[in-house]
Structure 1
């Protein structure tokens, strides 16, 4: 039960929160896009891996069936097979065979596939000739691999094209974009994007702060769904990939004002340059088809980086669970013997893209005094903490169940530490203390992070501590790499020896 003072405080907090500005029509549109999509970059990357594996397997199967595994060239054949398959994929990359237009139209690309595969085998035969070892290799194996490899490449391309067209129809493979700024410039931009062949951009709507007299409610058939403030909520619900700002470069003040609001989102932000008189070098632009864009912000961890980070989390989470399983078992027994109640404590926290996730911890407080909202942070000598709880909090053992969060995907091993949804400092929510606080949610939160190994762990009882933690979190996001993650992961046990701020 809460006292009247607590209820009054809660009412005040609700009043301080900005009201939802996303209208019912915009919310309905956003919910149509809730399902995740597949990036074209990922599709072409997977195609490279599949074709490489198919060529290797074809070469090895013919070698094992015709030549035999017992030949004296038992390691030369596999080495040549891998090198030739890799060279073929690299040459097809140079010939733009993995671009989406090429994958959508395999018949028009058949001559390129034939030329690349033939050139690869020509290089192989020349290399074998000059090394004076061509007579040692089976000509049947060479010819059979050439024919079967070419057939496999063409069949895979036909199957991939059919699958990609199906995904394009049902919206599984697309980049969702929102236009910021209406009027004639937005209309010209939309028409230019729609005219691009094999366009993978899905325009989901338009957002503009100007009223209908200055910015029409419908532009090029797309509705204006709200203001820039409403766009933040829309982008999170609809899982938008890209924001395209349709404002002139000369409108510096308006562009900067929008970016101050939009940079907290985990998406790509582009400034349209299709009708600008001011021209930069070609390398300064990215393109949607032939439509030039100036890159303002990129999603911090995207495409293959996200795959690498997810693999990193799975491998090291499993390793952590195995290594620390005796400690976790002993902790569970100690908690049960020390106080009544469940072993685990679950808490709602902010996750990636501001979504609410449930984080696991070992229970360190008495059941009837647990605080899932974290409105009353634990202080030094807090009577709510059990005897076992003091030890596991000081040593961070209470965080070990979060290895399962990282394994299942709601957390990463390394990233900004997730804060409770209603966490406060001096009766102020964290996002009220730090401007751009939610920018730390542009990546998945982590069990440990750059802020923690630099001494900013434990109680956030002052506004300065919150600002410093966010500062370190943003530094991590802007400078992320797998090596950086490894550095943080291996430094964490050393930093845990300093338990000054953990209680």
Structure 2
């Protein structure tokens, strides 16, 4: 049994409500919200046209209005108008929808004036339709929020309470409560497999609250920051944990110490970019990768691919794929021995593919499987060290970088922070760059990093 298998052995499973089932419920409710918005807009414009004495079923009028509704849907999605928070907050729901509608009206009017089509439109009908549609959208959204609150209460999100010697809230209805000891959990920042165990448990939830003893709060906070989940710690007295916000759990004050850095819309954009680029690139490079595979087999005995445990999003461990560049039984599966310049473990073919970064190409398969992204913090081997210290011993913020999927390239790489980590500064530079990327993510930045990567494919530190 592998270390990963041992790490998740006897993990408690929670039924019947899991994060996956509740995510499906929220997705269906968000789709219902989208359909309700479109119905409200259609009804609003129909009433507006009728009030202006215009024929309601006129094709020449409904064609541009249909285009306007499509634009509204795109702007509303971009403006988080279909975010799950809009299912429970009237203010957020109405504000985001009205903002998207205002943007749609502006675009609609610019197009109409550009095409000089104002003579075909009834100003009264369009104006009445806009205001009536906006009113209906706000009414149906408020009704939706009330219905969701009444039916689900606090149960729209899967919530976990981990008890590790701390003070419990008076009411824990709707929460899954587990004892840390019984679940085999402990806040051990020096054990990647313990973080993997915690990440595997948290995968079934949307929110986790920790009730721990005072001397373990800091460690729990650090463990949650890379967990890609809303993480909170019960703190009757606030202390210095660099909280993101102050909230409460069933009347007890909590500090929000972790929150997934990307919302649903941004995760969808990033994943779509990965798929759109990865699939054609893999197809185009398939012949070249086959040639590299043959050369590797001819150069030295052993497998074509090198598989190694790395830490991925949510501090969950996965196996990274690379073209094998070292002799079998000399590569080191834990990465404790960094590759040095003129390393005698590297084969002849390995030296070339490492120098040109060709050895990284199989990671496109990791991207396709959803374990990695094209751009993100580079995943490191569990045994990697700097000045005889494990990376997370050099800087505890090291774990925070795992709130995003690891990437084939990243901000640190295009800044030249790659190769052996001989000093503490080598890893500190990478962590600082990764955290900067994490807190300032944008799709355009991902594209810029990929373009910048072309300049460092062949690098003096690549060996």
Q: Does the pair score TM above 0.5?
A: yes
CA displacement, residues 422-445 of structure 1 (integer Å, 9 cap, x when unaligned): 334566543344434333322211
CA displacement, residues 303-351 of structure 1 (integer Å, 9 cap, x when unaligned): 3332222222212222432454454344334334434444332222222
Q: Distance in 2 between matches of 1:436 and 1:228?
A: 15
Is the partner of 2:396 in helix, strand or coil? coil
Q: 1:172 to 1:289 in 2, by over 3 A?
A: closer
Q: 1:50 to 1:292 in 2, by over 3 A?
A: farther
Q: Distance in 1 between matches of 2:65 and 2:219?
A: 62
Larger Rg: 1 or 2? 1
Of the candidates 254, 258, 268, which is equivalent to residue 307 of structure 1? 268
CA displacement, residues 27-52 of structure 1 (integer Å, 9 cap, x when unaligned): 43679988745447655444444556
Query: Contact 2:195–2:315 at 8 Å: present in 1 too?
Result: no
Partner of 2:228: 266
Q: Distance in 1 between matches of 2:169 and 2:250?
A: 17
Partner of 1:237: 200
Q: 1:425 to 1:294 in 2, by over 3 A?
A: closer
Partner of 2:160: 177
CA displacement, residues 56-95 of structure 1 (integer Å, 9 cap, x when unaligned): 999xxxxxxx877xx7x795354355468789999xx69x
Partner of 1:99: 87
Partner of 2:352: 391
Of the candidates 61, 73, 76, which is equivalent to residue 64 of structure 2? 76
Of the candidates 352, 356, 360, which is equivalent to residue 317 of structure 2? 356
Query: Contact 1:353–1:443 at 8 Å: present in 2 too?
Result: yes
Is the partner of 2:168 in helix, strand or coil? helix
Is the partner of 1:440 in helix, strand or coil? helix
Q: 1:226 to 1:486 in 2, by over 3 A?
A: closer
Is the partner of 2:282 in helix, strand or coil? helix
Unaligned stretches of 5+ in structure 2? 44-56, 123-128, 239-244
Superposed CA RMSD = 5.6
Query: Contact 1:176–1:241 at 8 Å: present in 2 too?
Result: yes
1:403 aligns with 2:364: yes
Unaligned stretches of 5+ in structure 1? 1-13, 59-65, 103-111, 136-141, 195-200, 209-222, 278-283
Query: Contact 1:207–1:228 at 8 Å: present in 2 too?
Result: no
CA apart distance, 1:370: 3.9
1:413 aligns with 2:346: no
CA apart distance, 1:493: 1.0
Query: Contact 1:267–1:299 at 8 Å: present in 2 too?
Result: yes
Query: Contact 1:180–1:228 at 8 Å: present in 2 too?
Result: no
TM-score (norm 1): 0.61
Is the partner of 1:28 in helix, strand or coil? coil
Query: Contact 2:401–2:431 at 8 Å: present in 1 too?
Result: yes
Q: 1:323 to 1:187 in 2, by over 3 A?
A: same
Partner of 2:175: 202
Query: Contact 1:33–1:238 at 8 Å: present in 2 too?
Result: no
1:500 aligns with 2:455: no
Q: How many aligned positions are there?
A: 406
Q: Distance in 2 between matches of 1:57 and 1:368?
A: 67
Is the partner of 1:361 in helix, strand or coil? strand
Q: Mapping of 1:86-485 within 5 angstroms?
A: 99=87, 133=120, 174-178=157-161, 186-188=168-170, 191=171, 194=173, 202-205=175-178, 235-239=198-202, 240-244=205-209, 259-260=221-222, 262-270=224-232, 295-367=256-328, 369-425=330-386, 428-485=389-446
CA apart distance, 1:450: 1.6
Q: Distance in 1 between matches of 2:329 and 2:424?
A: 29
CA displacement, residues 395-451 of structure 1 (integer Å, 9 cap, x when unaligned): 101111111211110111111111223334566543344434333322211111121
CA apart distance, 1:224: 10
Q: 1:323 to 1:29 in 2, by over 3 A?
A: closer
Name which of structure 1's ranges 339-348 and 34-43 shifts more when overlaid on structure 2.
34-43
Query: Contact 2:188–2:219 at 8 Å: present in 1 too?
Result: no
Q: Distance in 2 between matches of 1:378 and 1:87?
A: 48
Q: Distance in 1 between matches of 2:363 and 2:9?
A: 37
Q: Distance in 2 between matches of 1:97 and 1:433?
A: 38
Query: Contact 2:375–2:409 at 8 Å: present in 1 too?
Result: yes
Partner of 1:4: none
Q: Distance in 2 between matches of 1:298 and 1:233?
A: 18
Query: Contact 2:187–2:216 at 8 Å: present in 1 too?
Result: no
